[in-house]
Amino acid sequence: MMKISTLKYWLSASLFLLVAQTGAEPTEVEIRPFQASYQLSRNGLPFGHTEVTFQLDQQGQYRYSAETRPNALTALLHDQTIIESSQGELSPEGLTPNRYDYRKEKSGQTHTTQINFDWPHKRVTTNTNGTPWSMPVPLATQDKLSQQLAIQVALLQGKDSVSFDVADGGHLKRYHYKRERLEKLVTPLGNITTVRVKRSKQSTHDYTIWFAPSLNYLPVRFERKQPNGRFVMRLVSTQQSAISTTPLRINLGVN
């Protein structure tokens, strides 16, 4: 029986970032709402799809969501649906998530998790199926979705490696991302030159992600080796959303 996994620690889609760089001046980034579709497969067999949406207003308030469902055939064997969202603020100072929501529906059962960030007190409160608990977190802590935007910004800044603390299920986890090399991938969107990035947790490699500079660092492929085979999530389509016609412009420092 195939099991849907939305890259438990790494699902999302990404921002459409239009970049213009000039020397040592700050990078001006135009950030627009977007929609994207990803296909999920295990050992080469497609079993599900993920639809992602990014919304952003002119005050920098964002909502980043992903919905994963099985394909029609696999739904007969497994009816699991996962919906995730991250809300917060994007500014020249960085990315600040304020709330993360997770909902899993399976065989008539519902599992929910909500994380609220209290930045003045540097704490997060996690509520899982009605049971809350709180823990301290350092500044710049991300949630499971917002960390993807954080690595994209790091790539735009020219960083070769970066680490993030991530609030996940009542625990604080440390992830390290390292740029490896350029690779050309054959994708449903054509042949694309990508930046290959390795993600590690506690010095153990867990994911490989390919970002496309020509698509403004949109991730086009995720890959993870699991005990039951190789899990792959690949981009099949993307478009700018008509949610807003005015992009948000943000200046980011360049390292």
pLDDT, residue 8, reads 35
16-252: what CATH class?
mainly beta
pLDDT higher than threshold 60 for residue 195: yes
What is the pTM (predicted TM-score) of this model? 0.82
Question: Do the beta carbons of residue 220 and residue 187 sit within 8 Å?
Answer: yes
Domain ranges of the chain: 16-252
User: What pLDDT score was predicted for residue 50?
Assistant: 94
The more confidently predicted of residues 248 and 230 is 230
In which residue are the tokens 């993360």 written?
Answer: 100
Q: What whole-number distance in Å separates Cα of residue 197 and Cα of residue 222?
A: 10
pLDDT of the residue at 239: 81
Tens of pLDDT, residue by residue over 86-105, are: 999 988 777 899 999 999 99
pLDDT, tens digit, for every residue of 111-168?
999 999 999 999 999 999 888 999 999 999 999 999 988 888 788 778 899 999 999 8
Pick 83 or 229 by higher pLDDT. Answer: 83
